[in-house]
């Protein structure tokens, strides 16, 4: 046994890593870990699946006072990307890195106990960064909400195999809504949180394209000309409203990218034209209810000094009308229309583009 103790002491003295991990050699094969090493090991245990990240990030947004949380998720070549956007309290610029340190929290007097345990120890973001490739703040400011990007290697941090099936909801014995069936995937994690916070905050789950379309739709009617007259840059707006301030498709693509939402200019055109429907909140989808956040957008062509704005319904009606009128020209000159007409609205111009297909 003495030889074992001597060996541990020798390794600790010769290895820089050992010195960092061990605070004291207690003898007989026992050591006292340094706090940093104990925290690192606990962090590895706290996050064991991608779905654990979803729950922790949703809890963080809730505790920051968010009433709306948007989760854009995608997977490519075994890598899961999660982007969380919310309208919570936001993060000061000088704290964007420090909040990922262990024991850093803004909840000194507001530690919360919920169905997932204690929240407010200052370990959630630390644990997420320890288990993922990327965990960082993309955009945030005090009072303007936040956008967090998390990228996980599913070979290292696994996720449930079935990510396409949505859970089903039913009332439990006490009459409260709960998930009754379905795999414990990302949708299930978002659903369980949504039902737990049914009257607190709404969660929206979709692809980056769907979330960009939803943000654009939700911002319509909220941003008016009087407000935008005094704003020179979208970064002055709340995070979840910035996409809605876009003057045109190119602007929308740029603003979305600044939040961590990568979309093409073609996709941006489709969003502005209303060709990509916004997603309903997770709770509304589960309970088959009308989304309480889905309010009709008022038509206000003067609301953005940087560009003409036309409602999605009017654009759709106009598109159908010009498509009908095009048929006369098509018959006379043997033209084939490929897809629906594309309409681009800018500051002082409305451009209609007809894509022609090959004659059959």
pLDDT for residue 104:
77
pLDDT for residue 355:
76
4-39 tens-digit pLDDT: 445 444 444 444 455 677 767 777 766 675 766 666
DSSP-assigned states of every residue in 190-245:
HHHHHHHTTTT-EEEEE-HHHHHHHHHHHHTTTS-HHHHTT-SSGGGS-GGGSGGG
pLDDT for residue 323:
75
CA angle, 213 as apex, 209 and 217 as ends, to 5°?
170
pLDDT for residue 308:
60
Residue 348 Cα to chain centre, angstroms: 34
Contact call for residues 279 and 206 (beta carbons, < 8 A): yes
282-299 tens-digit pLDDT: 999 999 876 665 544 444
For residue 329, give both structure tokens: 């020209």
In this prediction, the residues of the chain whose per-residue pLDDT falls under 70 are 1-19, 23, 29-31, 33, 35-45, 107-113, 116-121, 221, 223-232, 290-309, 311-313, 338-339, 346-348, 357-360
Pairing of strands 146-153, 79-86: antiparallel
pLDDT for residue 301:
42
Helix, strand, or coil here: 99? helix
Contact call for residues 201 and 66 (beta carbons, < 8 A): yes
% of residues, the chain, pLDDT over 90: 48
Handedness of CA 326, 349, 275, 220 (dihedral sign): negative
pLDDT for residue 19:
62
The mean of the pLDDT values for the chain is 81
pLDDT for residue 264:
95
pLDDT for residue 14:
41
318-354 tens-digit pLDDT: 777 777 777 777 777 777 776 677 777 765 678 788 7
CA distances from 166 to 49, 228, 253, 280, 282 (A): 18, 39, 29, 14, 10
- In sequence order, the 6+-apart residues with CB closer than 8 A to the CB of 251 are 306, 307
pLDDT for residue 292:
63
pLDDT for residue 10:
45
Going by C-alpha positions, the residue among 164, 269, 252 that lies closest to residue 215 is: 252
pLDDT for residue 136:
97
For residue 27, give both structure tokens: 């003898």
């Amino acid at each position: 046994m003495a030889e074992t103790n001597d060996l541990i002491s020798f390794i600790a003295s010769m290895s820089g890593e050992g010195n960092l991990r061990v605070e004291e050699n207690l003898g007989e094969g026992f050591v006292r870990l340094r706090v940093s090493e104990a925290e690192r090991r606990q962090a590895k245990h706290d996050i064991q699946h991608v779905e654990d990240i979803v729950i922790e990030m949703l809890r963080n947004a809730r505790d920051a006072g968010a009433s709306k949380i948007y989760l854009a998720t995608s997977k490519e070549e075994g890598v899961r990307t999660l982007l969380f956007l919310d309208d919570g309290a936001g993060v000061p610029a000088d704290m964007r890195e420090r909040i990922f340190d262990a024991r850093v929290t803004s909840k000194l007097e507001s530690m919360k106990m919920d169905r997932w345990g204690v929240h407010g120890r200052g370990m959630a973001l630390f644990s997420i960064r320890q288990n993922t490739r990327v965990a960082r703040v993309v955009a945030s400011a005090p009072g303007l909400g936040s956008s967090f990007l998390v990228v996980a290697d599913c070979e290292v941090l696994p996720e449930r195999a079935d990510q396409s099936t949505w859970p089903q909801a039913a009332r439990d014995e006490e009459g409260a809504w709960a998930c009754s069936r379905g795999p414990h995937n990302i949708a299930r994690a978002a659903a369980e949180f949504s039902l737990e916070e049914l009257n607190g905050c709404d969660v929206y789950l979709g692809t980056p394209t769907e979330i960009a379309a939803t943000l654009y739709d939700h911002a319509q009617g909220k941003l008016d000309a009087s407000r935008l007259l005094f704003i020179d840059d979208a970064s002055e707006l709340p995070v979840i409203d910035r996409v809605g301030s876009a003057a045109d498709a190119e602007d929308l693509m740029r603003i979305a990218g600044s939040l961590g939402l990568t979309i093409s200019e073609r996709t941006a055109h489709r969003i502005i034209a209303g060709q990509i429907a916004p997603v309903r909140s997770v709770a509304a989808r589960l309970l088959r209810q009308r989304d309480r956040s889905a309010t009709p957008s008022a038509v206000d062509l003067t609301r953005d000094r940087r560009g003409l704005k036309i409602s999605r319904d009017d654009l759709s009606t106009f598109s159908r009308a010009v498509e009908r009128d095009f048929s006369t020209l098509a018959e006379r000159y043997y033209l084939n229309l490929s897809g629906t007409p594309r309409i681009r609205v800018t500051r002082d111009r409305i451009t209609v583009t007809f894509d022609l297909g090959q004659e059959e």
